[in-house]
Amino acid sequence: MPGTSLPLAAMLLALLLSACAGQPRPVAEASWEEHQARLQALTHWDATGKLALRTSELSESGSLEWRQQGSSSTLQLSGPLGVNATTVYSDGASLVIRQGGETHTLDLSDPLELERRTGWDLPLQALPHWLKGIPAPDLAVQRMEFGQDPTLLQTLQQDNWEIRYAQYAPFDLFRLPTRLTIQRATTTVRVIIRNWELPSNP
């Protein structure tokens, strides 16, 4: 009957709207703790880009390829056209540096040996965490500052190192840093990451 079509249509529309309203909405932002835990669990990744290191005694820059496999790190650093190519490998306990046909092995239990042997005043064991945008778990957090997104660090301070995050970008299920600066005293490291390659099931 024509007289019943309007109430029936209104009823169907009301049911449809109530069903839509009852569906859970997408979560806009995870909490910082959830975000940090997910990134801590991300232990296998590749990052490529550029790195510039400046200290009171040296200034170097070049392309960067970083492969992280659990506690093992492999870095490929090279200048234009592959000049001064350097490979750095660490298993978490020792560090092997290959450059220009020479190989040096360093004991990471001595925090000053890296600087004595290479002139690099860098906390290499903390870098994989800082690159991902989270604090290194073995260092006390002195300061953390966030922007509009409460899950993305803008500034982090640990062991008197200040890490400033200028830019993030989405990669798979994560938002990861693409521009950051790491600084302490006369040492400044600027990193630009063009691409993150992540496992299919992080």
User: Is 20 a domain residue?
Assistant: no
- Domain total in the chain: 1
Tens digit of each residue's pLDDT (9 = 90 or more) over 93-142: 888 988 888 898 988 777 777 777 776 777 888 999 999 999 999 999 99
User: Is 126 a domain residue?
Assistant: yes
User: Is 8 a domain residue?
Assistant: no
CATH number at residue 72: 2.50.20.10
User: Is 114 a domain residue?
Assistant: yes
User: Is 26 a domain residue?
Assistant: no
| Domain around 175 | 31-196
User: Is 7 a domain residue?
Assistant: no
DSSP string, the chain: -HHHHHHHHHHHHHHHHHHHHHSPPPPS---HHHHHHHHHT--EEEEEEEEEEE-SS-EEEEEEEEEEETTEEEEEEE-GGGTT-EEEEE-SSEEEEEETTEEEEEETTSTTHHHHHHS----TTTHHHHHHTS--TTS-EEEEEE-SSTTSEEEEEETTEEEEEEEEEEETTEEEEEEEEEEETTEEEEEEEEEEE--S--
Mean pLDDT of all residues belonging to the chain: 83
